[in-house]
Structure 1
């Protein structure tokens, strides 16, 4: 959550599937995703903890996320992480990406355009030294900590002092020193000042905690870009905040493989550039071979337009399904799209080149449609280039006679 808000995050829904440190159950996660079918507001689906599952479970959950967004709730997109995307073998620096591409996909190809994946993991500054203590260690390791400290504080001639021994004993005596005078919290604070090895140990723990998958930060960046420039602006060429370095250094050859693979499953890179910082350097969906849906901002723009138009059209559900209503609906949609065009969301030298709206008998509807109380509207918009139109078609059930 800190990573999300540090990068511009705003309002969000948080679904808990268990306590921190408890055993994770993939079924609990997919069950939580199902609950979102009842919520229309969320526009992004992000599960940073998916990388904590076994690989089989992680890939299964990610496929479930894609299907949820692409088939069941096409009003949102999934932001995905690459499991194990931080420690690559030298002979295959994108091994985790290759496995991800083989294992993760929507049930139908079209659903892949509702997901974007980001790589690699990031070294962050989310956790500070004050946030790290013995509480970040598993209890099974307390005995090893005690052994480490005993070795450090034991003098070959004099042995170990009583004070040091009591402080160390709190790690092996259920949180209380042998003399009953020192709690493990007090011992932790004292040892961070007295010991050389203990702060080093906690420093390594902090570094591990600060190694994070990027999806939470990307959700924040999506939000920040939406608020500043609009959903049609690609969430790329943006610096990721609270990051010291990507876990894997990406060069131009690796970037090409990530961006334009043969199977179309593009993965967005996060790279360090001198003088710029750690930058989001990709904006493609997992449907990279599609001319229409390869860019995440195009998919999200169409979601925004379609959902906005559908919501506005609900005003006319109980209006007569006749020419007067059709003219009003067409005018309402045209005014909305003109506003989007003026903001730069649609491309074209004039509104007529940026969009078209059709509704009426003989154009989008038949007499049978009217008798059944169905109003069909066709909207075409130019999102990427003036000559490239993407068509939105929807129907609305009107009041029946």
Structure 2
């Protein structure tokens, strides 16, 4: 409290209590793999903002193309604007030796990265390493590649076991070709065929994760993280290693395998938007999981000022007001259900959520409920014959009907 001695006018600036919560970024990717110059920045995450920067830092003259290089180029070609590259050197599974585990651990220091991929690494150990990293960090999502060649696509529906794996399991012979169930990853099949960025005249098989990560970034920028990154053209893809049929995708989609399909009138598109959480999970859609990741981290960062503040009604009301304002903005962006904020979310922080025993334990509890929008995965048109001029009820009662499905 200032001391006033001389009569006069005094102006004081006071805090209004409004501390805006800003949405965190969601489109920065991190790619792990073997760089064309295998010794460049080994196990060191390097920020890359354009293809030329990647070439300067991770290639030498006459460097051969690698899955990592093709993925990074595919990321930028499909709308990505910033990524981190972690060169793990040459070798087998990412988790196969201690140096590679050190490389993955180094990503923990890169708070900006929200999309994680290891282009071309399609073995249970690598899957497990990437998934475990994303689950540990809590704000990241993994894009996993299927193997380059799949003789029996039924194996894609089998879930790999985690933990200790035998030699046969590591190769996928016993445990299938898919990663374990998780809410923190999506799985894509098949690989694409695209020009080699280091020799455009050469068409090579390319893991789709880099291109898909670019599509995530492109969708985030154009529509928002709440929009499913699907029904999007894969830029740079000339063909597919395997042509998935409509019937095959029906089974794969239920198993959480996102297919990349070719349509004669629409080109090569990502045609799936599911996580590996399982068909019955409330987290089965990629955009729902990533939306919650964004909201949770944004609230975390935007309310850090509350730590060690008095645990009283004034703090409760300030938190409630700030979170409500943030979620109202998210609702206005189209990410939440309902025609009003009251139908889209609720925020509760009062004496009911913070009774004396909770306060004595040093805790301040806020309850938040969110109703996310979910993608229209199956589009159904019911069509029947109609007797011209008849009422709606008569028309609905007459004729057969057909259904058309899309996703």
TM-score category, normalised to shorter length: 0.5 to 0.7
Aligned-pair CA distance for 1:24:
4.3
Q: How far apart, CA to CA, are the structure 1 residues paired with 2:91 and 2:281? A: 42
Alignment of 1:39-78 (within 5 A): 39-51=110-122, 58-70=123-135, 72-78=136-142
Look up the match of 1:10.
81
Q: How far apart, CA to CA, are the structure 2 residues paired with 1:282 and 1:259? A: 7
Q: How far apart, CA to CA, are the structure 1 residues paired with 2:209 and 2:106? A: 21
Q: How far apart, CA to CA, are the structure 2 residues paired with 1:327 and 1:336? A: 14
Q: How far apart, CA to CA, are the structure 1 residues paired with 2:147 and 2:281? A: 28
Q: How far apart, CA to CA, are the structure 1 residues paired with 2:372 and 2:213? A: 22
Q: How far apart, CA to CA, are the structure 2 residues paired with 1:299 and 1:284? A: 10
Look up the match of 2:144.
80
Higher helix share: 1
Q: 1:127 aligns with which of 197, 201, 204?
A: 197
Alignment of 1:1-400 (within 5 A): 1-18=72-89, 22-24=90-92, 26-27=96-97, 28-51=99-122, 58-70=123-135, 72-84=136-148, 87-89=149-151, 92=152, 94-95=153-154, 97-98=156-157, 102-103=175-176, 104-106=178-180, 112-127=182-197, 131=199, 206-207=202-203, 210-261=204-255, 266-362=256-352, 364-384=353-373
8 Å CA contact 1:330, 1:359 repeated in 2: yes
Q: Helix, strand or coil: the match of 1:64?
A: helix
TM-score (structure 2 length as normaliser)? 0.66
8 Å CA contact 2:349, 2:367 repeated in 1: yes
The 3 A distance-change label for structure 1 pair 41 and 81 is same
Aligned-pair CA distance for 1:365:
2.3
Aligned-pair CA distance for 1:98:
4.1
Q: How far apart, CA to CA, are the structure 1 residues paired with 2:253 and 2:317? A: 44
Q: How far apart, CA to CA, are the structure 2 residues paired with 1:114 and 1:39? A: 18
8 Å CA contact 2:183, 2:277 repeated in 1: yes
The 3 A distance-change label for structure 1 pair 123 and 96 is farther
Rg comparison, structure with higher value: 1
Q: How far apart, CA to CA, are the structure 1 residues paired with 2:348 and 2:359? A: 15
The 3 A distance-change label for structure 1 pair 367 and 115 is same
Q: How far apart, CA to CA, are the structure 2 residues paired with 1:95 and 1:346? A: 36
The 3 A distance-change label for structure 1 pair 268 and 214 is same
Q: How far apart, CA to CA, are the structure 2 residues paired with 1:368 and 1:126? A: 63
Aligned-pair CA distance for 1:97:
1.8
1:369-394 residue CA offsets vs partner (Å, 9 max, x unmatched): 21232111111000036xxxxxxxxx
Aligned-pair CA distance for 1:64:
1.8
1:270-297 residue CA offsets vs partner (Å, 9 max, x unmatched): 0011111101000000113234100000
Alignment RMSD (CA, Å): 1.9
Aligned length: 285
Q: Helix, strand or coil: the match of 2:85?
A: coil
Q: How far apart, CA to CA, are the structure 1 residues paired with 2:125 and 2:92? A: 14
Q: How far apart, CA to CA, are the structure 1 residues paired with 2:191 and 2:361? A: 53
The 3 A distance-change label for structure 1 pair 294 and 10 is same
Q: How far apart, CA to CA, are the structure 2 residues paired with 1:127 and 1:76? A: 28
Q: How far apart, CA to CA, are the structure 1 residues paired with 2:331 and 2:366? A: 19
Q: How far apart, CA to CA, are the structure 2 residues paired with 1:345 and 1:382? A: 9
Structure 1: segments with no counterpart, 5+ residues: 52-57, 133-202, 386-401
The 3 A distance-change label for structure 1 pair 290 and 311 is farther
1:315-347 residue CA offsets vs partner (Å, 9 max, x unmatched): 222321110110010000000000010110111
8 Å CA contact 1:83, 1:96 repeated in 2: no
TM-score (structure 1 length as normaliser)? 0.67
1:61-120 residue CA offsets vs partner (Å, 9 max, x unmatched): 1012112212x1110011000123xx444xx4x1552466545545xx5xx011000000
